[in-house]
Amino acid sequence: MAHSPAAYRQLGKLVAEAKLFQPAELQLRYLNELMQAMRNIATRKQHANVLQHLQGFLKKLMDSPARQELTDLIDRYRVGRVPLLAPITLLQHYLRLYPNSYLQQQVYFNPYPEQLGLRA
């Protein structure tokens, strides 16, 4: 989603229509479309969109000050005042308070092995 919102929607459509394809063909098509999407460089705006999307899963569980804090931090990221790690860390904090198995399995929170040190 951060690399290409259009590709994200297209991949979702492909998965929804999975029964129309043989498993090997579906796997190949998905992988090809995913790799095409990953060629696009994710922008601050697109990352902020993803962060807001993730926040939406928790908004009913969070109180108003917590929602506002996260919204403000996402906006500060969007304009370049804080690194991406700041809103991701706060989202992970709220995920510990309000567990959501779907969100907790998202690679977005940990795209690289920690040993590589690429998130800082």
Reported as a single tens digit per residue, the pLDDT across 34-83 is: 999 999 999 999 999 999 999 999 999 999 999 999 999 999 999 999 99
The pair of three-digit structure tokens given for residue 60, joined into one six-digit string: 């009913």
The mean predicted confidence, pLDDT, of the chain is 93
Find out whether 44 and 3 touch, Cβ atoms under 8 Å: no
Question: What is the distance, to the nearest Å, from the Cα of residue 103 to the centroid of all Cα atoms in its chain?
Answer: 9
Instruction: Cite the DSSP H helix spans in 1-120.
Output: 5-16, 23-38, 44-58, 64-78, 85-97, 101-104
pTM, two decimal places = 0.82
Residue 25 pLDDT > 90, yes or no? yes
